[in-house]
Chain A
Amino acid sequence: MSAPILEVSGLTIALPPGADRPNAITDINLALGPAEILCIVGESGSGKSVLSSALMGALPRGLTIASGGIALNGTDLTRQTERAWRDIRGRRIAMIPQEPMAALNPSTRVGRQIEEVFEIHGRLTPQERRAEALRLIEEMHLPDPARIAAAYPHQLSGGQCQRICIAMALSLNPDLLIADEPTTALDVTSQAQVLKLICELRDLHGQGVLFITHDLGVVADIADRIAVMEKGRLVEIGAARQILQAPAHPYTQKLIAAVPSFATKSRPRPAVEAGACLQVQGLAKTYGRTQALKPCDLVVERGTTLAVVGESGSGKSTLARLLIRLVEPTSGAAMINGQDLAKLSGAPLRKARRTIQMIFQDPFGSLNPRRSVGDVIARAAALAGADRASARQIAKDLLERVGLSAAAYARRPSAFSGGQRQRVGIARALAMRPDILIADESVSALDVSVQAQVLDLLRELQLELGVTIIFITHDLRVAAGISDQVAVMKRGEIVELCDTATLVNAPAHPYTQALIAAAPGRGVI
């Protein structure tokens, strides 16, 4: 390795007193060479974002560098004034944001936003800036640069916005590029394209790239070297191949084991009477002129799992909301045990709703912050017909069943982590004793290891209770691990529906094939 661009030595950043640990990050040592991609991997709370904000000289209020140094080509970054930082940021270090849509100004054309970077740093004439912005847009492989430059961010897709952000980051040809979860908010296919682009640009310009992510699949696709962080410490650092194939540290091994893969698992079926639990016939929904869901047909056997896979805007959430009747169908019917919820109203509808329950996507928005989790679950049990005393007991039993203690009963949701809240959500849904459980992206907001635990829990519960599960996800790898059959959706339409093993091993539809090809980390992990 030639002389490193970035050297972090013994960096320790202190948290304010009263936090759960004394330091956000402790004694971090790492170096990054030119044209190298170093992936920093860790779960939430591992300190990876604190590290990246320290490198940008933008530590959150209350955090201070306790000891250690950061050197960028010999410049000590820990002793720069705010004025000096303004010159360093953008020119020597640039950042690719996590949420491209939020990082762009919604009221300014994107071409103009790229020109602004030059303007702020006092470079080039107005004509040169415009030409340079167009050249950068073209370099990002965006079609029709002139049209893109004149577009506002909301007229572009997430992947296109991220390319604009990358163009802005590269505009002044910085030495170091920091990418903080740059593809987390993107669909799998655009994620694959953006990752390819980052590799290509690195080869072209020779920047060092510090790539922060929680997704080991992405890491496998892009990393030259990998650094694994846990609770603020660097537990392992080394060449990508070595870490992925022969991880030395137990935490790395655990992380790699938890990554979902396409391996389908045969597993015992719950003992329930055979027959269809859910029958969907010609179910469709249109909003004005947009067809959110084209007429679709589905049959799900009792005690089995159907995974619905699709990218954002594919209509998978619309399907879930139609099944559970949070929205009214435009046409068609969804029969749950022979009963169509859409034909009911008033009290009979409220009673029939018990049969189909949902575990929501956002563990922070799906629990009422003002009610204790025990009350929430007990109320669900009471609605399912239990009396007051037994509802309390059911709630306590369920809390233990999903891996929380009965002592959690009186606590408010704010006392729990994301994974724990998702367990509360599962307990609440189960308290209704439903026939069908819909999990709408229920694990996508969770860290991989927690995600694996929640998936295991769902499998166990299905075996024990014989509940039918509709599992909605954007991640075909997760779907493969949990489902008996998979429905692949695109633009409001089910393009392929078959059993999981066939779908993964011999996908028939070109879109399914593209999804499988785009899945990060395929073949390495």
Chain B
Amino acid sequence: MKRYLRPTILIGAGLVGLWVLVALFAPWLAPFDPLKSLSPLALPGTPAPGGGVFWLGADLLGRDILSRMIYGARPVVALSTLATLTAYAVGVTAGLLAGYFSGWIDTALSFLANVILSFPVLVLYIVVIVALGPSPINVVIAVTFASAPAVFRIVRTIAADLKQRDFIAAAVTQGESTWRILFIEILPNATGPLTVDFCLRLGYTTIIIGALGFLGLGLPPPAPDWGGMVNEGRALAFAFPHLVIFPCLAISSLVLGLSLLADGLNEARDGQGRGS
């Protein structure tokens, strides 16, 4: 347990935990209604009409930026987690099957994964979203489609290695079902590398969701969305940098937290030694 108490993990978990709490308690934390037009382009620290202060200023339509950031954490946290989980469900299952059975299943699935991975990721997202239309579910589908092949590759390699071990032969000769061999005997041995990859992948997904919002392919307006906020403020960014800086900080702090967490977990795993 002690090896997990390292600065990278503590800072990373702190940043991530902060945004999760913000997302959960958004209605209690936000000082204003995120959709209400109050005072266009108010600078940070300006008193708001009818009491209160725009701590981070207001946007082009007079909506409080702090409140929009707080509400904007919700889709980012929920969607990136959900999308990464579905990518894992697909990637892990396919990877276990391909690695364990090899043969034509492996050939087919690996070919598919390589084809998908050969496209630039962002182009892939845009194609999927344009084809399906922008909506939260379609963002999840797009991320699953683009991320699952990478997860597949990791799991396939681990499964192909582990199936050579005698404990898998022992399970076969005991008459264990294939399902149990894949998910009870093999998968737990892959949790170490998968946990690290999961944190990193959550970070990528967060960036991607921000990018989709920026391109206008994320949540339909006027819903608060970090990427969308950057896009709306882009034209006036030189005159009013606060429109862009704060949503950017939100995205980078969450991604930084996840990356630190992944780094820290990886170091903790290395320190533990490969033998156990």
Contacts and interface: CB of A to CB of B under 8 A. Distances in A.
Contact of A368 (B172, B175, B185, B191): B185
Contacts of A360: 166, 169-170
Nearest to B171: A368
A17 B185 CA distance: 36
Nearest to A321: B169
A284 interface: no
A352 B173 CA distance: 10
Interface in A342-376: 349-354, 356-358, 360-362, 365-371
Interface string A360-399: 1110011111110000000110010000000000000000
A432 B171 CA distance: 12
B275 interface: yes
A353 B188 contact: no
Contacts of A412: 276
Best-surrounded residue of A354, A356, A361, A368 (most CB of chain B within 10 A): A368
Q: Interface size for chain B: under 10, 10 to 19, 20 to 34, or 35 or more residues?
A: 10 to 19
B185 A350 contact: no
A365 B166 contact: yes
Given A368-B189, A369-B276, A370-B188, A326 B176 contact: no
B174 A383 contact: yes
A383 B174 CA distance: 7
Interface in B172-204: 172-177, 185, 188-189, 191
A358 B176 contact: no
A370 B189 contact: yes
A366 B172 contact: no
Interface string A424-444: 010010001000000000000
B2 interface: no
B276 A324 contact: no
Contact of B174 (A366, A370, A380, A425): A380
Contacts of B185: 368, 371
A362 B165 CA distance: 9
B167 interface: yes
B175 A358 contact: no
A349 B177 CA distance: 11
A417 interface: no
B189 A357 contact: no
Contacts of B170: 358, 360, 366, 425, 428
Contacts of B176: 350, 383
A108 interface: no
A362 B166 contact: yes
A233 B89 CA distance: 55
Q: Interface size for chain A: under 10, 10 to 19, 20 to 34, or 35 or more residues?
A: 20 to 34
A511 B170 CA distance: 33
Contacts of B188: 368, 370-371
A337 interface: no
Best-surrounded residue of B165, B166, B191 (most CB of chain A within 10 A): B166
B173 A383 contact: no
Interface in B139-165: 165
Best-surrounded residue of B167, B172, B188 (most CB of chain A within 10 A): B167
A354 B173 CA distance: 7
Given A412-B276, A414-B275, A414-B276, A368 B173 contact: no
A324 B172 CA distance: 10
Interface string B258-276: 0000000000000000011
Given A360-B169, A361-B166, A369 B189 contact: yes
Nearest to B165: A365
A214 to B, nearest CB: 22
Nearest to B186: A368
B275 A326 contact: no
Contact of A367 (B167, B172, B191): B167
Contact of A353 (B175, B189, B275, B276): B175
B167 to A, nearest CB: 5
B169 A350 contact: no
A325 B175 CA distance: 11
A356 B176 CA distance: 14
Interface in A147-189: none
Contacts of B175: 349-354, 383
Contacts of A379: 174
A380 B185 CA distance: 13
Interface in B100-141: none
Nearest to B178: A350
A354 B174 contact: yes
B173 A324 contact: yes
Contacts of B177: 350
B177 to A, nearest CB: 7
Nearest to A415: B276
A367 B185 CA distance: 10
A352 B174 CA distance: 9
Interface of A: 324-326, 349-354, 356-358, 360-362, 365-371, 379-380, 383, 412, 414, 425, 428, 432
Interface of B: 165-167, 169-170, 172-177, 185, 188-189, 191, 275-276
Q: Shortest 6 CB-CB distances between A and B: which pairs?
A: A350-B175, A366-B166, A360-B166, A353-B175, A370-B188, A414-B276
17 contacts: A326-B172, A352-B175, A353-B174, A357-B173, A358-B169, A358-B170, A360-B169, A360-B170, A365-B166, A365-B167, A366-B167, A366-B170, A370-B189, A379-B174, A414-B275, A414-B276, A432-B174
Given A353-B174, A362-B166, 6 more contacts: A360-B166, A366-B165, A379-B174, A380-B174, A383-B175, A432-B174
